[in-house]
Amino acid sequence: MARRPRFTWLDASRPEQPFPDPALALREPNGLLAAGGDLRSERLLRAYRQGIFPWYSPGEPILWWCPDPRAVLPVGRLHRSRSLRRAWARGDFACSVDAAFPGVLEACSRIGSGEGVWLGSAMQRAYHSLHRQGHAHSIEIWREGALIGGLYGLALGGVFFGESMFSRADNGSKLALCLLEDLLRLRGVALMDGQVASPHLLRMGFVLTPRDDFLAHLRALIPAQLPPASPWTLPAELAGNRDHAPTGLP
């Protein structure tokens, strides 16, 4: 018998409080599981390990989600259209990894919000903390010294949890996804989580995966004891002959 959905409030004074079973998440809005708590690194890492992520607007309580189905990309299955392959081959851009995390976070925070910021200061501080610990990473695409595309997310074991991406020029975010997939392949990461499906992600090869299957992948790919985390660097074989990213990064 299916378990009845149930909404849970988390206590901010109890960072060790367990999350409810994702099977209890609401069907509408899809995947809403809990509210409250805090954004301490320990709680965030436990959430991601269980397929749960925070998503809320400034001024709201923290909301925790685990939607069903999930947008997932097996590494090696990214759809690279002919035009995208041509854009990559032109090489008229520079790329970097973990070189401009604050700039990527700021750019992602303003997507679709006009002059406002949807990714509030508390969320930004939380991901900056995870970045300093070596868990959160950014991919940057540059042209003529300007940041034209990028993305950020968390890496735990064999899974990369994509959080957000942005583009300020044609193919900016797509080039970042290509670089990310190549980097994940070299690092032995098997799965990329896109969280909630969008037409853009589905065109890029992400597939809708039942939540139970996604959570089974996490249990298989994330070890009980994570190895020490550290910033990523860009391997020479991925940088190619492109110019290095500019100095004085944002």
Distance separating the N- and C-terminal Cα atoms of the chain: 52
Contacts of 42 (CB under 8 A, 6+ apart): 15, 16
Percent over 90 (pLDDT), the chain: 83
23-32, 80-89, 95-104, 240-249: range with lowest mean pLDDT = 240-249
As assigned by CATH, the class of the 71-239 domain is alpha beta
Q: What pTM does this model have? A: 0.92
Tens of pLDDT, residues 12-60: 999 889 999 999 999 999 999 999 999 999 999 999 999 999 999 888 9
Query: 241-250, pLDDT tens digit by residue?
Result: 444 455 444 4
The CATH classification number of 8-67 equals: 3.30.70.3550
Domain ranges of the chain: 8-67, 71-239
